């Protein structure tokens, strides 16, 4: 079982154009900033958003092909969808909400309710069978919405920001349950999220969308270790610079130079972890080979660490302790020296 999609959608001046493949059992997380096209992509796979051009094939069955005019309606596609707002029917019990998809596929009321009862029992939600959605917690509503999508045993499961509506505590507990339910489902699974923690906890592979295009894809460890866009770098929390390698130096796009052993040749991306950036009030002595003057632009506290944004020849963010901020008497507008050891810098082809 597999999904192959070649998608092109144009809506209100925005173009979504990409190719997507996913295998049975695999969880693929689609990440990207607001307006990147994530929900539009799910809509095309579900049949809710028609393609301008392209083809969607699931388990050897063509769901849509603009070249031939073939198109299967949303209700006839073997696709389960969990919406961000869950969209449970308020007038139906939990049991009948879960049974709803089976009824739509032609199952009789009694058979659908028996199957729904079994699913609720397996998910430890049987005590809620008679409850109305308005009496459920956010986490319970999410789990019921997932069971409703899974009840007809779809070939493709689509999840649109499934944990976004939950508070932090409920998100952790529900994520654990969601991971178990996804592992038990053998079909293709596509998850849309803006939360990197959620993506890395649930997904086998990440696809990063920006402005309707795929900018990076791969296992979570690869994407986070080698970000290829400013958005991904900010998501991971690292400094990303672009330049051109030459021997042991990188000439950055802004005109400054970094000394980096083995920088290679040609266009490169440079990653510097904020914790590798040292700040000084006077010019440092010793081993660092990359030293320059900068000005403090802002300070943002995150637990026991402070992220210090600097401007200058090479704008970077440093991450230091609150005690270091106090000792250095740092504040916006203060001039400092920045130093980074050459061995703390990662370089890879752009």
In 120-172, DSSP assigns E strands to 156-160
Q: Give which of 183, 232, 225 is closest to 204, Cα–Cα.
A: 183
* Tens digits of pLDDT across the chain (350 residues): 799 999 999 988 899 999 999 999 899 999 999 899 999 999 999 999 999 999 999 999 999 999 999 999 998 999 999 988 888 999 999 999 999 988 888 888 899 999 999 999 998 999 999 999 999 998 899 899 999 999 999 999 999 988 887 877 788 888 888 888 898 899 999 999 888 888 888 999 999 999 999 999 999 889 988 999 999 998 888 999 999 998 889 999 989 999 998 888 899 999 999 999 999 999 888 766 799 999 999 999 987 899 999 999 999 999 999 999 999 999 999 999 999 999 899 999 98
**Fold that domain 237-349 belongs to in CATH:** OB fold (Dihydrolipoamide Acetyltransferase, E2P) (2.40.50)
Torsion, Cα of 125, 129, 133, 138 (10° steps) = -10
pTM to 2 decimals? 0.83
pLDDT for position 168: 76
**3-state SS assignment for residue 45:** helix
CATH class of 2-88+136-226: alpha beta
Instruction: Give the pLDDT score at 164.
Output: 81
Helical pair 138-150 and 109-122, crossing angle rounded to 10 deg: 130
Instruction: Measure the CA–CA gap between 232 and 208, rounded to whole angstroms.
Output: 8
Note the pLDDT of residue 287.
65
Length of the chain equals: 350
Select from 10, 22, 7, 11 the least CA-distant residue to 185.
22
Burial class (CB in 10 A: 0-12, 13-18, 19+), 280: middle
Phi, psi torsion values for 205, nearest 5 degrees? -145, 145
Phi, psi of 39 (to 5 degrees): -70, -35
Q: For residues 176 and 164, what is the distance between their CA atoms, to the nearest angstrom?
A: 15
Domain boundaries, the chain: 2-88+136-226, 237-349
Do 2-88+136-226 and 237-349 have matching folds? no
Give pLDDT, residue 236: 86
Model pLDDT, residue 220: 87
- The SS3 call for residue 67 is coil
CB-based contact 159:191 (threshold 8 Å)? yes
Alpha carbon of residue 312 to chain centroid: 31
């Amino acid at each position: 079982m597999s999904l192959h999609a070649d998608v092109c959608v144009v809506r209100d001046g925005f173009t979504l154009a990409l190719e997507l493949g996913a295998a049975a059992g695999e969880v693929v997380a689609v990440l990207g900033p607001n307006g990147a096209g994530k929900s539009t992509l799910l809509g095309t796979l579900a049949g809710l958003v028609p393609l301008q051009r392209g083809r969607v094939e699931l388990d050897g069955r063509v769901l849509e092909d603009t070249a031939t005019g073939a198109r299967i309606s949303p209700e006839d596609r073997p696709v389960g969808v969990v919406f961000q707002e869950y969209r449970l029917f308020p007038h139906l019990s939990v049991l009948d909400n879960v049974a709803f998809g089976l009824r739509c596929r032609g199952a009789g009321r009694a058979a659908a309710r028996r199957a729904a009862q079994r699913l609720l029992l397996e998910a430890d939600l049987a005590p809620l069978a008679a409850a109305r959605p308005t009496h459920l917690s956010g986490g319970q509503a999410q789990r019921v919405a997932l069971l409703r999508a899974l009840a007809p045993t779809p070939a493709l499961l689509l999840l649109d920001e499934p944990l976004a509506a939950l508070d932090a505590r409920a998100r952790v507990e529900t994520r654990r349950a969601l991971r178990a339910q996804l592992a038990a489902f053998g079909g293709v699974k596509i998850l849309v999220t803006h939360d990197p923690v959620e993506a890395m906890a649930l997904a086998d592979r990440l696809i990063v969308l920006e402005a309707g295009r795929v900018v990076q894809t791969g296992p979570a460890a690869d994407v986070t270790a080698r970000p290829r866009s400013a958005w991904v770098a900010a998501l991971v929390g690292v400094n990303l610079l672009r330049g051109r390698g030459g021997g042991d130096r990188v000439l950055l796009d802004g005109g400054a130079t970094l000394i980096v052993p083995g920088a290679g040749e040609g266009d490169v991306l440079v990653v510097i972890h904020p914790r590798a950036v040292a700040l000084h009030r006077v010019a440092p002595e010793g081993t660092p080979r990359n030293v320059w003057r900068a000005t403090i632009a802002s300070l943002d506290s995150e637990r026991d660490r402070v992220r210090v944004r600097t401007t200058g020849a090479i704008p970077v963010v440093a991450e230091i302790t609150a005690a270091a901020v106090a000792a250095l008497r740092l504040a916006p507008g203060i001039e400092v020296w920045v130093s980074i050891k050459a061995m703390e810098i990662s370089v890879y082809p752009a």
